[in-house]
Amino acid sequence: MENRADIIRLCGQSGCEYRENEPLKNYTSFRVGGPAAIMLFPKSTEEIAAAIRLLHGKCRLFVMGKGSNLLAADQGFDGVILLLGQDFSGIAVEGEILICEAGATMAKACQAALENSLAGLEFSWGIPGSVGGGAYMNAGAYGGEYKDVVAWCEHVDENGKIGRFSGEELEYRYRHSVYSGKHYCITKVALKLQKGDPAAIRAKMDDLLGRRKAKQPLEYPSAGSTFKRPEGAYAAALIEQCGLKGFRVGDAMVSEKHSGFLINAGNATCEEILELAAHVQKVVKEQTGFTLEREVQLLR
């Protein structure tokens, strides 16, 4: 990183705690990735806005939540990671609305909904990401998606200005939102739920988590479903049809439990996972004609 000393000085001026050469493998669900040159740990929207205003245009800047849909390069990231984690994970309840700071986990949001007898978020129980990440990519499972529950999102734009999009302005579709491809940082998400019976909510959460444990390789590091669902088919079914269950490159492996998951079966590297993903895409295209698009984001 050029002018590293200047960037560190600016990070200090933002008010955020920061660390240098922080291993990304400690912050990604794949447990893969080299060091981030600098990692910031903001505790407020104001710190986030200050950091973005100070750093925009001066270095590479990447916003990260739980790292559950992220593949970080072995050589690391020569820039600044703005980590929205435990220090930025508060949840407030206003009637039937949960107002979540973006670093709150989906699990924490589900638990808050249950404790307040609010239904509608059960589909996300067991998804390992953050609420901000869920809102960014329209995360979903078992017939539910974030587009069904998001009332509004607060954000900081690339110039450090705080703004808000309503649910109607978020342009949600499959694994896409108005934020896709933009250098905005989601800071708060309002989830509009409805009153429900706590026992029924708990039963649905238990049922969905039981299905996940039965069908998904949760015992291994992964980023969940590696590929997007192609129109007219399912990625996992196509991969299994091509006989790729258990195929591996080094310690990167197609899960034998759920072929839509590429897993870290030991000490896989980012390059091994990328090589495995490319092989799966090539074989599926050759044998079925379907093109698999990688859902997991690459940070390098």
Which residues are tagged catalytic?
175, 225, 295
Reading the block at residue 185, the tokens are 């940082």
Q: Nearest 5 degrees, angle CA 157-CA 133-CA 95?
A: 90
Return d(Cα 112, Cα 191) in angstroms, integer.
Answer: 11
What lies within 8 Å, CB to CB, of 246 at 6+ separation is 253, 254, 256
Q: Which of 183, 148, 190, 153 is closest to 170 using CA atoms?
A: 153
Please name the residue that has the structure tokens 């249950």: 114
What residue spans of 116-228 are helical by DSSP H?
A: 131-137, 198-215
